[in-house]
C-alpha cells in the first residue's frame, strides 16, 4: 500500500430559486417537452441578484467539512481526525471577479486561516482537475487534508435570449474533503486520466472580458460578454472524450467495465450520459443521473451528482466508481475510487 488521498466528506449547495421548464417557456421560444426530450432536464436553480459563486462555494464547503467531522466522529480510528484542512482548491469558471482568485476568500469565510487556496479553471472538467491537483499535493506530502470545491453560477454569464444555454445550465456547488491515507482504503483515489485539446477552444467560450478581447471602456460587441456553445460538436466530443478517458483509466487501474458499479459523469445531457454508458458497455442503471433536478451545474456537476446518489442510496459503500468530466478548453478527465462509508451533507 502507498500514500493516497482518501475521500472523507461530501457536501452540496444550491441557490434558493428554482426555474422550471414551464417558466423558461413563458419567456423564450421553447417548451417543457423539447427540453425534457432533447436534454433530460426538468429544473435548474439560479442565484439571486447579489449572490455569487463564492456564496455557494462556502455553503458547499461548510457541508463537506461537517460531513468529514461526522465521519471522523463515527470512525474513531480514522487517520487525521482533526477537522481542519490545510489546502483549498476551488474549480470554477465563474469566479466572483477576474482577479483575485475566489478560493482565498472562500477559505477565509470558512475560517480556515492562512491555508493555501487557489482556483482551477477547466469549465465542466474543473472538479476532476481540482481533485487530481489536491490528491497529488497530498500524495506528495505538500498537504494532509484538502477541501476541493466545484462551484459555478453560469446563470450570470448566459445570454438572456439564448433558449439553448438557458435550458441547460443551472447554478450550484459541491465539495469533498480529502485526507492523507492508504491506497487500499475505501475512498482512496486510485488514479486519474486527464487531457485537453485547445484546437476546440472556440466551441465553448466567453469571447470578451479577457486579455484577447480586452476591455476598452466601451461595451463589448453584441453577445461577446455571454457564454456561447456549439451544441452539436460539443455533444459528439463529450461522448468520445468521456468514454475514451474512462476506458483509459479503467485500463490503468486494472478494472474492466464489468467491474464497475457506477459511472458518475458530468451531467450535461441525459442523451450524452446514455451514449457514454453504451460506449463502455454499461446498463443505464450504472449511470448516475441527477440533471433532471439541477441541470448542468458545470464544475459543481460531479460532486452534486455524488451527493444526490449517496443520499438516495444509489451509491453505496464498496461500489467501484469512475467519475468522468468533459468541458470547455476542450478538457476532459476521469478519476476512480471505491466508494467510502460517508454521509453526505446535502443541499437543503
Q: Which residues bind ligand ACO (CB under 6 A)?
A: 30, 34-35, 38-39, 123-124, 163-164, 167, 204, 229, 231-232, 234-235, 238, 268-269, 272, 296, 298, 327-328
Helix residue spans in 28-173 (DSSP H): 32-39, 53-74, 103-109, 126-139, 163-168
Whichever of 212 and 232 has its CB closer to ligand ACO, that residue is 232
Residue 173 CB, nearest approach to ligand ACO (Å): 15
Residue 271 CB, nearest approach to ligand ACO (Å): 7
Residue 27 CB, nearest approach to ligand ACO (Å): 11
Indicate which residues carry an active-site annotation.
Answer: 124, 266, 296
For residue 151, give the H/E element and its range. strand 145-152
Whichever of 96 and 162 has its CB closer to ligand ACO, that residue is 162
Bridge partners (DSSP) listed for residue 169: 296
Calpha distance 249→7 (Å, rounded)? 18
The contacts of residue 140 (CB under 8 Å, 6+ apart) are none
Residue 232 CB, nearest approach to ligand ACO (Å): 5
Calpha distance 344→175 (Å, rounded)? 10
Residues belonging to the chain = 348
Whichever of 124 and 300 has its CB closer to ligand ACO, that residue is 124
Exposed e or buried b for every residue in 137-172, given b needs 16+ CB within 10 A? Answer: bbbeeebbbbbbbbbbbbbebbeeebbbbbbbbbbb
Amino acid at each position: 500500500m502507498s500514500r493516497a488521498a482518501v475521500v472523507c466528506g461530501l457536501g452540496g449547495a444550491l441557490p434558493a430559486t428554482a426555474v422550471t421548464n414551464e417558466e423558461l417557456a413563458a419567456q423564450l421560444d421553447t417548451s417543457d417537452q423539447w427540453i425534457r426530450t432533447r436534454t433530460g432536464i426538468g429544473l435548474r436553480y439560479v442565484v439571486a441578484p447579489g449572490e455569487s459563486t463564492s456564496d455557494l462555494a462556502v455553503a458547499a464547503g461548510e457541508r463537506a467539512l461537517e460531513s468529514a467531522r461526522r465521519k471522523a466522529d463515527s470512525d474513531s480510528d480514522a487517520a487525521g481526525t482533526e477537522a481542519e484542512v490545510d489546502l483549498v482548491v476551488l474549480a470554477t469558471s465563474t469566479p466572483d471577479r477576474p482577479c483575485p482568485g475566489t478560493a482565498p476568500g472562500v477559505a477565509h469565510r470558512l475560517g480556515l486561516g492562512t491555508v493555501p487556496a487557489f482556483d482551477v479553471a477547466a469549465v465542466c472538467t474543473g472538479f476532476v482537475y481540482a481533485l487530481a491537483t489536491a490528491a497529488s499535493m497530498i500524495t506528495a506530502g505538500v498537504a494532509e487534508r484538502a477541501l476541493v470545491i466545484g462551484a459555478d453560477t453560469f446563470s450570470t454569464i448566459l445570454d438572456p435570449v439564448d433558449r439553448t444555454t438557458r435550458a441547460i445550465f443551472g447554478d450550484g456547488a459541491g465539495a469533498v474533503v480529502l485526507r492523507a491515507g492508504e491506497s487500499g482504503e475505501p475512498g482512496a483515489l486510485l488514479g486519474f486520466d486527464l487531457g485537453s485539446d485547445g484546437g476546440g477552444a472556440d466551441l465553448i467560450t466567453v469571447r470578451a472580458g479577457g486579455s484577447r478581447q480586452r476591455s476598452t471602456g466601451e461595451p463589448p460587441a453584441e453577445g461577446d460578454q455571454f457564454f456561447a456553445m456549439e451544441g452539436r460538436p460539443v455533444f459528439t466530443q463529450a461522448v468520445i472524450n468521456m468514454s475514451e478517458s474512462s476506458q483509459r483509466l479503467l485500463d490503468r487501474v486494472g478494472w474492466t467495465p464489468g467491474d464497475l458499479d457506477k459511472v458518475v459523469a458530468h451531467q450535461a445531457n441525459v442523451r450524452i450520459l446514455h451514449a457514454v454508458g453504451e460506449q463502455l458497455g454499461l446498463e443505464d442503471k450504472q449511470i448516475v443521473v441527477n440533471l433532471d433536478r439541477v441541470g448542468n451545474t458545470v464544475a459543481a456537476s460531479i460532486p452534486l451528482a455524488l451527493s444526490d446518489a449517496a443520499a438516495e442510496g444509489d451509491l453505496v459503500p464498496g461500489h467501484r466508481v469512475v467519475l468522468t468530466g468533459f468541458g470547455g478548453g476542450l478538457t476532459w478527465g476521469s478519476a476512480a475510487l471505491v466508494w467510502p462509508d460517508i454521509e453526505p451533507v446535502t443541499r437543503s
